Structure 1
Amino acid sequence: MSAQMLRTQSRMLLKQYKQAQRYQLQQLRRLNNAAAPETTKLFINGEYVESQSDQWIDVHNPATQEVVTRVPKATAKELEEAAHSAQLAFGSWRRTSILTRQRKMLDLQQAIRDNMERLAASIVSEQGKVLSDARGDVMRGLQVVEDMASITNHLQGQRLEVSADMDTYTVREPLGVVAGICPFNFPAMIPLWMFPVALATGNTCLLKPSERDPGAAMILAELCKDVGFPAGVLNIVHGSHTTVDFLTSDPRVRAVSFVGGDRAGKYIYERATQNGKRCQANLGAKNHAVVMPDANKEHALNAIAGATFGAAGQRCMALSVAVFVGDSGAWISEIAERAKQLRVNGGFESDADLGPMISPEALARAEHLVQSAIDEGATVTLDGRGISVPKYPRGNFLGPTVIDHVTTQMQCYQQEIFGPVLTCMRVDTLDQAVELINGNRYGNGASIFTRSGACARKFESSVEAGQVGINVPIPVPLPMFSFTGNKGSFLGDTNFYGRSGVNFYTQLKTITSLWRKQDAEDRQATVHMPTIH
C-alpha cells in the first residue's frame, strides 16, 4: 500500500472515530441534562408511537451503568395494532413488483452505509462492543441487504414442458406476516438477517429487538421509512415474555425467526410450531478449534485469541474451546501471553480491544463458571476476574481468561460461557479431537489449524459441525451462502439468509397449464346462415 493510500485511510479512520465520539458526547449531554432518560418508541404503521404501557425496562450502558433509554413492554392493544398494520400492508406489498422491492434494498443499503457511525455508536452505548467491532456488526448485516438486492435471481422459478402443449412451472410466493425475535449480542446484524430477506420476498414483518439494546433496530426502522418502504411493511414491537407469546401464537403470523439462547429458543420453537408456524431458531454453541503441531503457530494463536476474546466472547460463533493435539499443547502459555496484551476498556476508547459484558448477571455467571473450573481441577492460566478499568469502575468487565486441562465433564465445557474465556483441552491425535467435537451436543462451527491438506480434508469430512473453518477461526459464511449451524445449535429445517433464507420466507406454488396448438389455428370465415341439424 502506497504512502498516499495509507494517509487517505488514516484520515478516513480518524474522521469515523471523531463522528462516533461526537455521537457519544451527544448521548452523555442528553443523559446529564434530562430529568429522566428518553423512552424507546414503538414503530407501527410507519409511525413512531409512544407506548401506553405501565411496564418498562431500563437499558443500561454496560460500561457505566447509566440508563440510556427505557423500553416498554408493549400492551395487548399495541401488539394488535402492529399485527393489523402488517396484515393490511401485506395485501399491497406482495403485489409490488420485484423490481420495486429490489430498488428499496439498494436504497436501504446506501442509507445504512451513510449511517454506519450512528448505528455503531448506538451499539457501543447499549451493548458495550468496542467501536470497530460495532462497525463490523453493522457491516455483516449490511451484506445481507446487499445480497437481497439480487432478489430477482433468488426468486426465479423452474419451467418444464412435461407433455405436448403442457407446461409445469414453479413460482415462489411470500407467506404473509412474519416475525423476528432478536438477541442482544448483535443489535444490527441479526435484525438485518431477518427483515430484509422477509421484505425482499414480499412479506411484511413484526420485529422484536432485544429489550437490552433496541437502539440499532430503531435506527434501521427510521432508515426504512426514509427510503420509502410503505407504512406497515416493517413494524417494531418491544417487550419480553408477553410479546414473544403474542408473536408465536397470533394466527396472522405465519413464520418466526429467532436467534438467542437454548431455553428461550426451545420455548419459541415449540410454541410457534405447535401453533402451525414455520420456525427457524439459532440456539447456543460450543465452537472448537483444533490446533495441529504442524500449524502456522503465529497465525493460529493470533486467530484463536481474536476469535475468543473479541466482543467480550459474546458471539454465538466465538471460539470458546481450543483442542491442542500432541506437542501443540506447549503453545497454551503463549496464548495467555497474547491475551494479556489485549486492552479492556470502554467501547469508545481508541485503544480498546474488548469492552464490557452486557450485564452484571452475565458477568457473574461467567465468573462462576471460571471458579467451577478451578473447583473441578482445571488450571486457570490467565484469570481476568476482578480486572480494574479505572475510567469505568462500574463496568461489567471480565478480562481475557484462559483455562487449561479442561475435560468434557466440567461445567465450563458443558455450558456456553458466553464471555471472554478460552477453555483448552489436550489430546494425542486428530481422531481424538474429532471424536471430542462430535460428542458435543452443539454444532455451530469448528475449525482446524494445520499445514497438512490431508488433515484438513479428513477434518472437514468427519467433523459434525455445520460450519467448518480451515485455518479460519470464525467460519461464518457470507450471505451468498447461508448460516448452517446444526445439531443442538439449530432448530428448524431452513437456515438463515442466502438461498435458505429466501426459501424460509416463501412457499412454492406449482402450476400446470395446457394451451393446445390447434386452438390457435387459423379458421376460414363462415358467411352463410347457420343451420340446425
Structure 2
Amino acid sequence: MSVREIPMYIDGKPVPSNSQEWRDVVNPATQEVVARVPFCSAEEVDRAVASAKEAFKTWRKVPLGKRMRIMLKLQALVREHTPELAALITEEHGKTLPDAEGEVGRGLEVIEHACSITSLQLGELAENAGTEIDVYTLNQPLGVGAGITAFNFPIMLPCFMFPLAIATGNTFVLKPSEQDPSSTMRLVELAHEAGVPAGVLNVVHGGPDVANQIADHADIKALSFIGSSHVGSLLYDRAAKAGKRMQAMMGAKNHCVVMPDANRSQAINNLLGSAFGAAGQRCMANSVVVLVGEAKAWLDDIVDGARNMKVGPGTQRDADLGPLVSPAARDRVIRLIDAGEQEGAKLLVDGRGYEVSGYEHGNFVGPTVFADVTPEMTIYREEIFGPVLCVVSVDTLDEAIEFVNANPNGNGTSIFTNSGWVARRFESDIDVGQVGINVPIPVPVAYFSFTGSRGSKLGDLGPNGKQAIAFWTQTKTVTARWFEPENVSSGINSTISLS
C-alpha cells in the first residue's frame, strides 16, 4: 500500500514540500503508517505568508455578498462530504465514526454562521452626534491571520478559525496538527472548490519551529491557537511581543457536579459519555465528577456503567470509545493511572492492559475510574487527556462550587439537577467559561462565542459568535461633517446628481 505525502497548500494549490524532515501519520488502531507529513522550512512558511499578504490586497475588497456565497457553497460541500471527512478523522485520530461525524457537524455550524457575514460585519452609526456631524464605525479586516490547531478535532478546530477569518476579509495561514492532517487538508480543498481565491487560505505543517515562526512573523496580524496551556502561554507571549492580536484556548480540568435531585439515569449516562467519549481526548471532557450529598450513593452505578462501555477501533460503530492518538499518549495516560494508584486514590475500574481482539497493537486504554481523589493528586492536577474519571464527594452545593472554582482552569463545567434555583445559583457563582445545565459537554452553538476563564484562556476574545467577528476585524471610527458648497445656490444644490 502506497503512503500518501501530505502537501502544503499555497497560492490556491497543493504544493509538495522540499523539507528534509518528515513525520509518519499513523492509524492509532493498527499502527499502520497511512501518510507522511513534512515539517516545513522557514522559507516555505514565509512563502505561504507572502501569498496570503498579496491576496489580501484584493480579497479585502471583495463584496460581502460574494464572500457569503462562497461560505454557502462550502457548507453544502462539507455536508455532502461528511462521510469522507469523518472516515479520514477516524483513520488518523481514532475516534469512532459517529463521533467523527458529530465533529464534522459542529464544524459545519461555524461555516453556516459565516454565511451570515452580510449582517455580522455591520458597523454602527450615530446621526447628528454633533451639529450636522455623523459618527460611524467600519469593521475592517486586519490582514493576514493564522491558526494553529490541536489534534483532537482536526475538522472542528480549523472551522473555529478560518471561515470567519476569511469571511470578514482576512487571508489565512493554517498549521494543523501533524498527527492527523488529512481531514484538514480535504477541508481546505473543499474551500477552494467552493470558490476561495488563490492565496486566501494557505496551509503549512510542522512542529514548534513553525509555530514560533508564525507567532513571531511581522506580516501576520492575528493568531488563533487551540492546544495545551504550556504551548499556548509560550506562543501568547511571543505573539504579544511581536505586536499581534492573539486568542489562546488552552488546558482544562472540567467538572460535572451531580445533585441528588437529578435524573439519575440521565446524569450517569451523560457523564460517562462526556468523560470517555473520544477516549477522553476532548478539551471539554468532564474528567472530574463531583457527587453532592446523597448522590454519593450513585458511585456504584458509575462504576458499572464504565465497565460496560465498549472499546474498539473507530470503524466499529457500536464502540463507545476508540484508541488514543499515539503510543506516547497511551504511555502518558498509563503513567498517570500509575501515579493515581501510588498517591492513594481508590482505583475502581482499571483500563490499563486493555486489548482489542484483532487490534493488539492499538493504543487502547479502557475506561478508568478513581474515587477518593484529592486536589493534591497528580491525576487531579494534570489534564490527563485520556479515558480517566476522577470522582470527588462533597456534602453541599457550596462545597461543590468552591471546589470547582479552586481549580486553576476554567474551560467548561456542568451540573445535573432538577432544581431551577440550584442551576441558577451554580451558573451565577461558578468561575468557568462554559456552563452546562443537564448538558454534559457545554460547547455552545457557533453563533455564541467559545469562552473560558483563568488558566484555560488567554486573550479577551474567543472563537465563534460575536467575539470572533471582533477578533478578526479592526474597528475604524469615522467622524464626518459635510458643508454646502459656497459657489452653489441652495436651489441648484438640491438638483445635484449622484450618478
In which range does the TM-score fall when normalised by the shorter chain?
Answer: over 0.9
Asked if 1:105 corresponds to 2:75, the answer is no
In structure 2, how many angstroms separate the alpha carbons of the residues matched to 1:47 and 1:429? 59
In structure 2, how many angstroms separate the alpha carbons of the residues matched to 1:237 and 1:493? 27
In structure 2, how many angstroms separate the alpha carbons of the residues matched to 1:145 and 1:521? 53
**Other-structure match for 2:25:** 59
**Other-structure match for 2:173:** 206
**Other-structure match for 2:268:** 301
Asked if 1:403 corresponds to 2:347, the answer is no
- Tell me by how many angstroms 1:293 deviates: 1.1
Q: 1:341 to 1:518 in 2, by over 3 A?
A: same
**Other-structure match for 2:192:** 225
User: Contact 2:96/2:278 (CA < 8 Å) preserved in 1?
Assistant: yes
**Other-structure match for 2:466:** 499
Larger radius of gyration: 1
**Other-structure match for 2:42:** 76
Q: Which runs of 4+ in 1 moved over 3 A?
A: 516-521
Alignment of 1:242-391 (within 5 A): 242-391=209-358
Instruction: Report how many residues are paired.
Output: 491
Asked if 1:476 corresponds to 2:432, the answer is no
User: Contact 1:480/1:498 (CA < 8 Å) preserved in 2?
Assistant: yes
Name the amino acid aligned to 1:260: G
Name the amino acid aligned to 1:172: N
**Other-structure match for 2:115:** 149
In structure 1, how many angstroms separate the alpha carbons of the residues matched to 2:445 and 2:43? 39
**Other-structure match for 1:433:** 400
**Other-structure match for 2:82:** 116
**Other-structure match for 1:88:** 54
For the residue of structure 2 that corresponds to 1:399, the secondary structure is coil
In structure 2, how many angstroms separate the alpha carbons of the residues matched to 1:139 and 1:256? 24
In structure 1, how many angstroms separate the alpha carbons of the residues matched to 2:113 and 2:144? 22
- Tell me by how many angstroms 1:228 deviates: 1.5
- Tell me by how many angstroms 1:431 deviates: 0.5
Name the amino acid aligned to 1:88: E
Q: 1:524 to 1:135 in 2, by over 3 A?
A: closer
Name the amino acid aligned to 2:194: V
**Other-structure match for 1:216:** 183
Deviation digits for residues 108-136 of structure 1, max 9, x if unmatched? 00010111011000000100010000011
In structure 2, how many angstroms separate the alpha carbons of the residues matched to 1:521 and 1:96? 39
For the residue of structure 2 that corresponds to 1:393, the secondary structure is coil
For the residue of structure 1 that corresponds to 2:324, the secondary structure is coil
User: Contact 2:225/2:247 (CA < 8 Å) preserved in 1?
Assistant: yes
**Other-structure match for 1:23:** none
- Tell me by how many angstroms 1:517 deviates: 5.3
Asked if 1:450 corresponds to 2:444, the answer is no
For the residue of structure 2 that corresponds to 1:122, the secondary structure is helix
**Other-structure match for 2:430:** 463
In structure 2, how many angstroms separate the alpha carbons of the residues matched to 1:521 and 1:481? 53
Deviation digits for residues 72-94 of structure 1, max 9, x if unmatched? 01122211211111001000000
Deviation digits for residues 301-320 of structure 1, max 9, x if unmatched? 01100111100000000000
Q: 1:513 to 1:405 in 2, by over 3 A?
A: same
User: Contact 1:165/1:517 (CA < 8 Å) preserved in 2?
Assistant: no
For the residue of structure 1 that corresponds to 2:123, the secondary structure is coil
For the residue of structure 2 that corresponds to 1:144, the secondary structure is helix
Q: TM-score, normalising length from structure 2?
A: 0.97
In structure 2, how many angstroms separate the alpha carbons of the residues matched to 1:292 and 1:206? 46
Q: 1:524 to 1:362 in 2, by over 3 A?
A: closer
Name the amino acid aligned to 2:261: D
In structure 1, how many angstroms separate the alpha carbons of the residues matched to 2:196 and 2:489? 47
Q: 1:454 to 1:80 in 2, by over 3 A?
A: same
For the residue of structure 2 that corresponds to 1:509, the secondary structure is strand
In structure 1, how many angstroms separate the alpha carbons of the residues matched to 2:404 and 2:185? 39
Name the amino acid aligned to 2:474: Q
In structure 2, how many angstroms separate the alpha carbons of the residues matched to 1:248 and 1:195? 17
User: Contact 1:333/1:381 (CA < 8 Å) preserved in 2?
Assistant: no
- Tell me by how many angstroms 1:164 deviates: 2.1
User: Contact 2:261/2:417 (CA < 8 Å) preserved in 1?
Assistant: yes
The unaligned stretches of length 5 or more in structure 1 are 1-31, 526-533
In structure 2, how many angstroms separate the alpha carbons of the residues matched to 1:523 and 1:137? 64
- Tell me by how many angstroms 1:173 deviates: 0.3
- Tell me by how many angstroms 1:425 deviates: 0.2
User: Contact 2:71/2:194 (CA < 8 Å) preserved in 1?
Assistant: no
Deviation digits for residues 51-103 of structure 1, max 9, x if unmatched? 11110011111101111111001122211211111001000000000000011
